[in-house]
């Protein structure tokens, strides 16, 4: 197959137009090609009055060699690379101890899936509940303030990604095409096939719930074992080699291979690992607020007269500003047409994040507006100091919000001049259980408040209206990424604990659903190869 890139067409083109563009590019007639498929579709909206769709297309044709020769100097005509997934191992018959995966977020789920597909019969242990029961608890918290520390937006089947926008893009280098494997498995589990070819695919919360359940059933069909409400409270390590895991219910599971995919909110688990001497480093992360604007403001700015065009959907944005105080402020996890959600996993704390449904038809656009912080400058007191800072800020946000799990909030106009907000304006915040208007400046360190105050007017120059008086800030956004890294070597095992495979976002090796899934696949391959090697040495 040949891969053609940079095929540009107007928004309202037909299938025939694309076919014609492919033939024109290759200077061929319809009879000369067998078939073509779209590999990727994105849009170029740099000129708002001439927004174009941009395609990468794979063409099947008989005379590929001659054509490649004819286009040898054209960077937009190349052979199609093989992006299919190839299993690295098959489970030997005599595996003494089954591998254990801790955590059933995207990382643990894809690690478990791949181990199961290769025949290793993994045991997946998840502290939270199965996704349907978890949904009842999470939505129950949002509507009735009934918080459950083991079943919420962070903990439970599907991990942090379940009640999210389900954005599936990442900037990771993916030379072995693991990302395609993740996307294909999601489609097999019920995601719309368009996620395979649109540039910035997303799934949406309600659809994710069903997909997560289907992925679990696939794991079970390959004789994997998935256990809910099963928290790992300790790890048995002897001579710096993992021997087993201890569960909160007192049970012990003997294993030599543990995938540690616990996400960035498993603070008790991090403390336990630190006590057990597992090597952990502090890592930079970001803190800030969520901001909400009317979605049409963003659509109009990005798409002009084409705002609302169905193929474009609700517009997103990406903003960054380097401030005079040396800090950088950037937009994080932007959710077009979405909702700000309560994402705490601890009692008496308030944390914001964002989600949306597949249609992205909510009235507001939201994103985190966050400031980068580092262990050297901001939390120098050891590997877990970032967690202590997160807890302090989240507890302060709880207090500022009135101690009822409402989020402290302020209108952008008031925030910029430093006066508490008394009344909402035209933008109705979507955060549930509610927003408590106040002065947000005590909620974050001074340098962060100063940086966000400088950045908002600069963002307003890029998106006119971004600093509009009535836009709403809610706080605090603290779980942007893991505050630690559980370092691993090239064999994917902890630097000082054999058999422990730190993985995904919590270990500092992913940031987002797709990258966590990809990391899960890579770690599963490493576990599989290690087991095969051990068995062959016996
Ligand atoms: P997690 O998803 O956090 O999963 C870890 C799992 O481990 C959890 O289920 C937890 O219950 C379990 N666990 C923890 N400790 C233990 C223990 N001791 N024993 C047993 N189980 C344990 N990313 C995107 O790419 N796109 C988005 O649109 C997006 N939106 C988001 C919206 C929200 C509201 C949130 C909270 C996050 C969002 N993210 C998004 C981030 C994304 O969800 C995470 O990056 C991703 O889920 C990380 O995957 P993970 O598997 O590494 O960890």
Q: How far is the CA of 394 from the centre of ligand 1 (A)?
A: 18
Confidence (pLDDT) at 170: 80
Å from CA of 289 to ligand 1 middle: 19
Beta-sheet pairing, 258-260 with 500-502: parallel
In the chain, CATH 3.30.70.2700 sits at 2-79
Give residue 329's pLDDT. 98
Mutation probe of ligand 1 site: the residue of 100, 102, 104, 105 with most atoms within 8 A of C-beta: 105
What pLDDT is recorded for position 357?
85
Q: Strands, E, within 174-270: which ranges?
A: 225-227, 232-238, 241-247, 252-254, 258-260
Output the residue whose Cα is nearest ligand 1's atom 33.
164
Looking at the CA of residue 514, tell me the nearest atom of ligand 1: 25
Nearest in space to 151 (alpha carbons), one of 345, 341, 339: 345
CA of 496 from ligand 1 middle (Å) equals 25
Q: What is the ipTM of this complex?
A: 0.99
Contact present, 129 and 320 (Cβ < 8 Å)? no
Whole-number Å distance between alpha carbons of 286 and 511: 12
Site to probe by mutation for ligand 1, drawn from 267, 269, 512 as the one with most ligand atoms within 8 Å of Cβ, is 512
CATH topology of domain 100-281+485-537: FAD/NAD(P)-binding domain (3.50.50)
Look at residue 190 in the predicted model and tell me its pLDDT: 95
- Residues in the ligand 1 pocket, defined by CB under 6 Å: 102-108, 125-128, 153-156, 159-161, 163-167, 231-232, 261-263, 266, 269, 333, 341, 343, 353-355, 504-506, 510-514, 516
Amino acid 534: pLDDT = 87
Q: Tell me, what's the pLDDT at 413?
A: 98
Q: Closest ligand 1 atom, CA of 520? A: 51
pLDDT score of 171? 80
State which CATH number among 3.30.70.2700, 3.90.550.10, 3.40.430.10, 3.20.20.70 fits the domain covering 2-79: 3.30.70.2700
Q: How far does the centroid of ligand 1 lie from the alpha carbon of residue 295, in Å?
A: 26
Q: What is the pLDDT of residue 303?
A: 97
Tokens 């021997």 -> residue: 243
Could you state, in chain order, the average pLDDT of each consecutive group of 10 residues for the chain (538 residues)? Answer: 97 97 96 95 95 97 91 96 96 94 98 98 98 96 96 97 84 89 97 93 88 97 98 98 98 98 98 98 98 98 95 96 98 96 97 91 96 98 98 98 98 98 98 97 98 98 98 98 98 98 98 96 98 86
Could you tell which of 138, 160, 183 is best to mutate to test the pocket of ligand 1, judged by most ligand atoms within 8 Å of the CB?
A: 160
Q: What is the pLDDT of residue 434?
A: 97
């Amino acid at each position: 197959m040949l891969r053609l890139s940079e095929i540009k067409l107007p928004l309202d083109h037909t299938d025939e137009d694309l076919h014609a563009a492919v033939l024109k590019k290759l200077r061929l007639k319809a009879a000369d090609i067998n078939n073509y498929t779209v590999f990727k579709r994105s849009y170029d909206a740099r000129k708002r009055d001439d927004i174009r769709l941009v395609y990468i297309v794979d063409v099947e044709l008989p005379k590929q060699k001659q054509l490649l020769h004819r286009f040898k100097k054209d960077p937009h005509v190349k052979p199609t690379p093989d992006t299919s997934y190839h299993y690295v191992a098959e489970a030997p018959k005599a595996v003494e101890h089954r591998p254990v995966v801790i955590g059933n977020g995207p990382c643990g789920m894809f690690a478990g899936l791949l181990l199961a597909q290769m025949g290793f019969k993994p045991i997946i242990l998840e502290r939270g509940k199965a996704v349907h029961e978890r949904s009842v608890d999470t939505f129950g918290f949002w509507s009735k303030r009934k918080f459950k520390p083991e079943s919420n937006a962070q903990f439970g089947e599907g991990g942090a990604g379940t009640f999210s926008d389900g954005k599936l893009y990442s900037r990771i280098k993916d030379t072995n095409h693991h990302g395609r494997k993740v996307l294909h498995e999601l489609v097999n589990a019920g995601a719309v096939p368009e996620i395979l070819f649109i540039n910035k695919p997303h799934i949406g919360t309600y659809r994710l719930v069903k997909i997560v359940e289907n992925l679990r059933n696939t794991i079970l069909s390959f004789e994997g074992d998935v256990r809910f409400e099963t928290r790992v409270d300790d790890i048995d390590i002897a001579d710096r080699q993992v021997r087993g895991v201890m569960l909160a219910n007192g049970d012990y599971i003997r294993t030599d291979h543990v995938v540690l995919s616990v996400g960035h909110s498993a603070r008790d688990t991090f403390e336990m690992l630190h006590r057990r001497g597992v090597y952990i480093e502090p890592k930079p992360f970001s803190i800030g607020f969520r901001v909400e604007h009317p979605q049409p403001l963003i659509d109009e700015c990005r798409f002009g007269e084409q705002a609302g065009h169905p193929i474009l959907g609700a517009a997103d944005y990406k903003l960054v500003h380097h401030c005079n105080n040396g800090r950088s402020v950037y937009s994080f996890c932007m959710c077009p047409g979405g909702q700000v959600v309560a994402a705490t996993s601890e009692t008496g704390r308030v944390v914001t994040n964002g989600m949306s449904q597949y249609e992205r038809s909510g009235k507001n656009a939201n994103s985190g507006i966050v400031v980068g912080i580092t262990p050297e400058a901001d939390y120098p007191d050891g590997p877990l100091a970032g967690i202590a800072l997160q807890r302090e800020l989240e507890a302060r946000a709880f207090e500022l919000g009135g101690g009822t799990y409402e989020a402290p909030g302020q209108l952008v106009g008031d925030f910029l001049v430093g006066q508490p907000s008394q009344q909402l304006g035209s933008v109705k915040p979507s955060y549930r259980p509610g927003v408590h208007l106040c002065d947000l400046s005590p909620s974050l360190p001074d340098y962060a408040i100063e940086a966000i105050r400088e950045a908002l007017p600069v963002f307003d120059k890029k998106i006119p209206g971004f600093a509009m008086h009535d836009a709403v800030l809610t706080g605090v956004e603290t779980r942007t990424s893991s505050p630690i890294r559980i370092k691993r070597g090239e064999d994917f095992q902890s630097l000082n604990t054999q058999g422990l495979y730190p993985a995904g976002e919590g270990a500092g090796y992913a940031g987002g659903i797709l990258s966590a899934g990809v990391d899960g696949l890579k770690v599963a391959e490493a576990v599989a190869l290690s087991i095969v090697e051990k068995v062959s040495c016996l």
